[in-house]
Homo-oligomer: A and B are copies of this chain.
Amino acid sequence: MDKMSGEKQELSYRAEVRRADVDSVGRLVEATGFFSVEEIGIARELVEERMVRGAQSGYFFLFAEAGRRLAGYACFGPIPGTMQSFDLYWIAVYPSFQQKGIGRMLLQAAEREMMKNGAGRVYVDTSSRPQYEPTRRFYTACGYRKEAVLADFYAPGDGKIIYLKILV
């Protein structure tokens, strides 16, 4: 058995959200070096809102754990007013766990979790900036296709690209 599949087998998923996840998610998102202070705050707030309001919050989570260590997480939820569209709000993997296929496995597990909750379509927004090229390649490799582009949405020269994966 090679190293990769060994690591894959160690990975477990948890949908239940605990109080400690607020800080864990903040640390994880910060550790990626990919998000602004404002964005890190938002990532934490979504966990807090889930703790306070439960499923009513509209935020669902999936934590990928290697033993007792958090390797990555995804946050998603149904888009209000739609029949079966979900948004993938966040997906992040610790730098030390990257390049092992964990992001892809986590996203697939998140898609299964969304389908259990009625999802037929998953939308995810990314930036058009060069910095996000690996992110865009990741979604494409995971079966997402570019559905729309909103030029200059985030800021001048920084557009929003909306990716879509049809699950059912």
Contact = CB atoms under 8 A, between A and B. Distances in A.
A127 B24 CA distance: 39
Within the oligomer, what is the number of copies of this chain? 2
B147 A82 contact: no
Contact of A81 (B42, B80, B85, B156): B42
**Central interface residue in A39, A82, A156, by most chain B CB within 10 Å:** A82
A38 B158 CA distance: 34
A144 to B, nearest CB: 13
Contact of A83 (B147, B148, B154, B164): B154
A164 B152 CA distance: 11
A150 interface: yes
A154 B39 contact: no
Interface of A: 38-39, 42, 79-85, 121, 123, 147-150, 152-156, 158, 162, 164
